[in-house]
Amino acid sequence: MPAMSAIDLLYHAAIDKSPARLLIINAHAHDLLPILSEKCEQLDLQQHFKHEHAAIQKMGMNASANLSSFDASYGSILILPSKNKQQTLAWMAEAMQRLEENGTILVACANNHGAKAYESALGTLAGNILSRSKSKCRIFSAKKRSSLDMELLAQWLSAGQATTISNHGLIAQPGLFSWDHADVGSQLLIDHLPDNFLGTGIDLCCGYGLLSEHLLRRSPDIDQLHMLEADRLALDCAVKNTVQWQQKVQTHWLDATHDALPEKLDWIVCNPPFHTAQQRDVELGKTIVQRACQSLKRGGTIYVVANRKLAYERLMQAELKQCQTVIEANGFKVIKGIR
């Protein structure tokens, strides 16, 4: 019998409990979701990454990107932790707020993704914990009781909120890529971008808008900037960070590896991801860069920043008329191409 994933464990456990009202935070598409839907009077799903959100919709089910969309109280709430601890703790705190009295939080996590630490944290918050291990994962639960540490709950909620970050002056929140500082790659790209962008372009995989804000501030003759991002929470921050140029900005909550991109662009800037969830995924970045090149108009320009070990040049050369490395420093490189 194949090993069960954390998602398998979480959904199987929920089927056994069959609460009347169930919320899943960081929900993933799975064959067990329709069964859960049948067993519950109300099943609400939250997922802020476009690819997983679309997979849930393909099953004929609905999901919301933001927890603020839900106003019900729940008998049980399931959480699949993110790769960011502060974000996950904030989810635990918000889940406790949304639970009925004696309602249950249920969390499943791979051992090598911090399961033991999350179990300990939930126990500290709730004052009670049940736990078991299976298939190199840990599944644990706690009930909403009078032992709930309200002061700690408030701390976790506050620490997970979007706020202005002093390091770069932009609005961001835990869980977003390089949320509390300008990452080395993006900063290298910023330092080597021209200040005379014209026409229509895109910040592909824009995150919370670090590059977009720079482009709009330094290149006043931009006509239109598309901001495209798979993480809806990041895109919401990017909108706030570019609000003074809102008449020039068009946002897209899309999966850059599958969804249709804007076409015939004058220019593109891109710091492509190369991780899927907790796993390194080099093909992810290659697919995004290749599709970006194809979205340029003839004569259009693309600037890509990447880890120096990632060989994007060959695929860019196949799509473009010109391709060159502008700078290589601090383990990263900026590549410029013209179609």
Domain map (residue ranges) of the chain: 6-159, 163-338
Amino acid making up residue 123: G
Sign of CA dihedral 181, 187, 191, 195: negative
The per-residue pLDDT for 282 is 77
Residues 192 and 301: their CA atoms lie apart, in Å, by 14
Residues 276 and 154: their CA atoms lie apart, in Å, by 31
The per-residue pLDDT for 279 is 55
CATH number belonging to domain 6-159: 3.40.50.150
Helical axes 232-241 vs 210-218, angle rounded to 10°: 20
Fold for the domain defined by 163-338: Rossmann fold (3.40.50)
Question: What rounded mean pLDDT belongs to the chain?
Answer: 95
State yes or no: pLDDT of 4 exceeds 80.
no
- How many Å from the N-terminal Cα to the C-terminal Cα in the chain? 51
The per-residue pLDDT for 19 is 80
* Mean pLDDT, residues 76-94 taken together: 97
Report residue 297's pLDDT band, with 50, 70 and 90 as the boundaries.
very high
* Mean pLDDT, residues 183-199 taken together: 97
The per-residue pLDDT for 172 is 98
State yes or no: pLDDT of 75 exceeds 60.
yes
Helical axes 150-159 vs 115-126, angle rounded to 10°: 130
State yes or no: pLDDT of 171 exceeds 80.
yes
Residues 298 and 218: their CA atoms lie apart, in Å, by 25
* Mean pLDDT, residues 88-114 taken together: 96
The per-residue pLDDT for 320 is 97
Residues 107 and 124: their CA atoms lie apart, in Å, by 14
How much of the chain, in percent, has pLDDT values that exceed 70? 97
- Domain pair 6-159 / 163-338, same fold: yes
Report residue 278's pLDDT band, with 50, 70 and 90 as the boundaries.
low
The per-residue pLDDT for 1 is 40
State yes or no: pLDDT of 241 exceeds 70.
yes
- Per DSSP (E only), the strands in the chain are 21-25, 42-46, 74-79, 99-110, 130-134, 137-143, 163-164, 171-172, 199-204, 222-229, 249-253, 265-270, 275-276, 279-280, 296-307, 322-329, 332-338
Where is pLDDT greater, at 173 or 18? 173
* Mean pLDDT, residues 241-264 taken together: 97
Report residue 114's pLDDT band, with 50, 70 and 90 as the boundaries.
very high
Residues 62 and 337: their CA atoms lie apart, in Å, by 40
Query: φ and ψ at 158, to 5 degrees?
Result: -65, -40
pLDDT digit string (tens) for 220-232?
A: 999 999 999 999 9
State yes or no: pLDDT of 276 exceeds 80.
no
Report residue 280's pLDDT band, with 50, 70 and 90 as the boundaries.
low
Three-state DSSP at 118 gives: helix
Residues 113 and 141: their CA atoms lie apart, in Å, by 17
Q: What count of other Cβ atoms lies within 10 Å of the Cβ of residue 203?
A: 26
The per-residue pLDDT for 135 is 87
* pTM listed for this prediction: 0.94
Sign of CA dihedral 181, 206, 234, 242: positive
Q: What count of other Cβ atoms lies within 10 Å of the Cβ of residue 44?
A: 22
State yes or no: pLDDT of 132 exceeds 50.
yes
Helical axes 85-98 vs 115-126, angle rounded to 10°: 40
Token pair of 42, please? 């109300």
Which of 139, 141, 132 is CA-nearest to residue 96?
A: 141
The per-residue pLDDT for 18 is 75
pLDDT digit string (tens) for 62-74?
A: 999 999 999 889 9
Find the farthest-apart pair of alpha carbons in the chain and give their distance in angstroms, rounded: 67
Ranges 73-82, 163-172, 275-284, 329-338: which has the least confidence: 275-284
